[in-house]
Structure 1
Amino acid sequence: MGLLPERSLPPEAATNEPDEIPGDVAQRVLIWRRFKRNKLAVFGALLLCGLVLISVFSEFLSPSTPYAYDAERTHAPPQRLHFVDTDDGFELGMYVYDYRVERDEETYANTYEVDESAKVPVGLFVQGQAYRMWGLFPMDRHLIGAKDPDTEVYFLGADRNGRDMASRIIHGTRVSMSIGLAGVALSFVLGVVLGGLSGYFGGRTDNYVQRVIEFLMSIPTIPLWMGLSAAVPRDWGAIQTYFAITVILSLIGWTDLARVVRGRFLSLRQEDFVTAARLDGCRTGRVIGRHMLPSFTSHIIASLTLAVPFMILAETSLSFLGLGLQQPVVSWGVLLQEAQNIHSISGAPWVLLPGVAVTVAVLVLNFVGDGIRDAADPYK
């Protein structure tokens, strides 16, 4: 019998190694697939992207500037946006009805009635109040608003000074969301560094760090906020106060993350790959940053996502109590200060709408955080 001709293998079959699929890429793909199966988390992620876009382009998206006021429209009710005009046939076009304003002679409060004979045309990319985009570029175009630059529309009503609530809530999104993200960033640095040192070295270092954490966690939250906020000089400007409140929230919010990092480091420092890195001559910083932290990065991301709502609620509470940001800064907490007056709430319930924005933001961030935590769980 003759020998069978030798068959050559294709290049991809010449080796037993699989195609080039790095482990970290495969893990990200697996986490993404798990995350997509959580419909509530995906819905929350979409809303979170919307909040981020509102924060970035708040000047353009708002119908007016947050400081423009009309003394004749104090506590003006919301104006309903219409899309079809059926009075003169069938005509497409956005508009709102104007008000008929009357002043009560006894209380001097304005009463409003819808005047269907006066229509205010509304358009997209209209010219309105001038502003500076991101404080740099002068512009006067707004995504939506009255076509007449001298006319104001109130889709969500007006406050006691006749300022548009929709514009103020949109601008408040930037401040409240950025404080949450900036505060979490600082808390991440403090929590990872102090928690990592505590768990990695143990002994006296662990004892000292844990006693500081226990002391901070034993103090009631609101009195601690009040004490730290009282230390902020009242003559500071808006930017200085903003950074001071961010630092205050970070000094309080790092303890939970530090506890988590410390527990993980205590369990990881005895693992074989950590011992191998030490024997290989790696310094402490490299062992922690290149070998130990990446092993539970997904858990840290989930913890940070769930910490952002705490920061937003903390800023809102401080500003609501008059201890945080103050006028002329516009945040959700500052806007809710007007809701402290029961007469304002009874006559103008739309002043509570910033509270709705806070609730939506907190729920969205919790949905996303829970989805990331479940998707990154290796035992699921």
Structure 2
Amino acid sequence: MASSETTLPAPVRGQPENRLVVAGQWRLMWLRFRKHKLAMAGGVVTILIYLVVAFAEFLAPTAPEDYKAAYSYAPPQMLHFISMKSGSPSLLLHVNGYKIEVDKQAGRRNFVADPEVEIPVGLFVRGAPYRLWGLIPLDVHLIGPLNDRDPMFLLGADRLGRDMLSRMIYGARISMSVGLIGVSIALVLGILLGGLSGYFGGGVDTLIQRLIEFLQSLPSIPLWIGLAAAIPPDVDPVLVYFLITVILSGLGWTGLARVVRGRFFALKTEDFIKAARLDGNSSLRIIVRHMVPSFLSHIIAVVTLAIPAMILSETALSFLGVGLRPPIVSWGVLLSEAQNIRSLAQAPWLLLPGGCVVIAVLSLNFLGDGLRDAMDPYA
């Protein structure tokens, strides 16, 4: 009787053996994310911003509180690589100095670039000492004038003669960390309360959902302003930073809680959850070890999209003067100096921190949008 089995021919030497390559879930998500060009660009920009945050002391030419009162509202200087001072072109990294012109009609002095004065600029120069990450004592800065007494304001100076570039770099640390820490706290609250609501249902679900609806019905900006204004003005700046972060995160968890609740309602009837319950696992263990990891990728996308909202909230509060306050440096605090129309007309570079906010928010939104699409690679 003929055999029903089919014998496959042996692979011929020199020819590649046929293989079926099956990509895993994370591999499929990466391939889907890589096709999203704006998300890739947003991810690169976001990584660069957080690298600036991590190495702010090294990248900033000066400390944020250092000032040169004689150069109030000094305009930005351009970096030059070719020096003509000796009569023939020579390679020299420098910026031009300033000369003062008096505007008699406006009654003010104006700084004008003086090409006759060349201020040498170096890379990896020694300057104000600092502690990198609060641990490593250093005094090396990426760029700076070779003589500390010479002015170098690549992005201009503010009303006290402080370097805007240095203050924007230090401001990135505060503004970006407020978003990151605030979202981390909101993540814990959203997963905990949303998980309890979706897992237990009944009265617990009703109570938590009514609380969420109450918080979402309140107008955000007036509520933030009221809570932030309740902080006494003589409170330590570090405590103000902590309280503002708590306020933002305490009101920003509701959207994530709704998402988690819906996912828990769908998952709690799955077979692997029933098996974990019959195996004697506690409710907390089932939530943390089984349910949350099953949609962790979706949570990552939601969190990435929530960080820009936190950054904008901090910037708005600080701009209105009820958020972070000097001597803390954030992008919102820096923008608060641009409220004066006269100062803004004299020094339009005071709006540059607003450009940083736009770039950071757009990059995070593009990144979050790409992650959200990549989380469902089969769509």
Is the structural similarity TM-score above 0.5? yes
Which residue is 1:57 aligned to?
55
Match of 1:83 among 71, 81, 90: 81
Which residue is 2:181 aligned to?
182
SS at match of 1:149: coil
| CA drift at 1:93 | 2.4
1:71 maps to a residue whose letter is: A
Deviations 1:72-110 (A, max 9, x none): 111111001112235533322211111102445676532
Q: Is 1:39–2:22 an aligned residue pair? A: no
Which residue is 2:4 aligned to?
none
Bigger CA drift: 297-306 or 101-110? 101-110
Contact 1:64 1:152 in 2 (8 A): no
Hey, what's the Cα distance between the residues in 1 that align with 2:352 and 2:263?
41
| CA drift at 1:246 | 0.6
Hey, what's the Cα distance between the residues in 2 that align with 1:296 and 1:378?
14
2:42 maps to a residue whose letter is: G
Q: 1:251 to 1:365 in 2, by over 3 A?
A: same
SS at match of 1:131: strand
* Within-5 A mapping of 1:293-308: 293-308=292-307
Hey, what's the Cα distance between the residues in 2 that align with 1:311 and 1:337?
18
Contact 2:96 2:118 in 1 (8 A): yes
TM-score, length of structure 2 as denominator length: 0.91
| CA drift at 1:42 | 1.3
| CA drift at 1:36 | 1.6
Which residue is 1:4 aligned to?
none
| CA drift at 1:134 | 3.1
Deviations 1:56-82 (A, max 9, x none): 110110111111111111111100111
Contact 1:145 1:152 in 2 (8 A): no
TM-score, length of structure 1 as denominator length: 0.91
* Within-5 A mapping of 1:247-262: 247-262=246-261
Hey, what's the Cα distance between the residues in 1 that align with 2:26 and 2:291?
18
Hey, what's the Cα distance between the residues in 2 that align with 1:248 and 1:207?
24
1:41 maps to a residue whose letter is: A
Hey, what's the Cα distance between the residues in 1 that align with 2:378 and 2:223?
39
1:228 maps to a residue whose letter is: L
2:212 maps to a residue whose letter is: I
* Within-5 A mapping of 1:1-380: 26-86=24-84, 88-104=87-103, 109-380=108-379
1:40 maps to a residue whose letter is: L
Bigger CA drift: 34-43 or 300-309? 34-43
Contact 1:74 1:110 in 2 (8 A): no
Identity over aligned pairs, percent = 55
Q: Please, which runs of 5 or more residues in structure 1 have no aligned partner?
A: 1-8, 10-17
Hey, what's the Cα distance between the residues in 2 that align with 1:341 and 1:214?
39
Bigger CA drift: 273-282 or 175-184? 273-282
| CA drift at 1:131 | 3.0
Contact 1:127 1:149 in 2 (8 A): no
Deviations 1:225-250 (A, max 9, x none): 01211232222111111111110001
SS at match of 2:24: helix
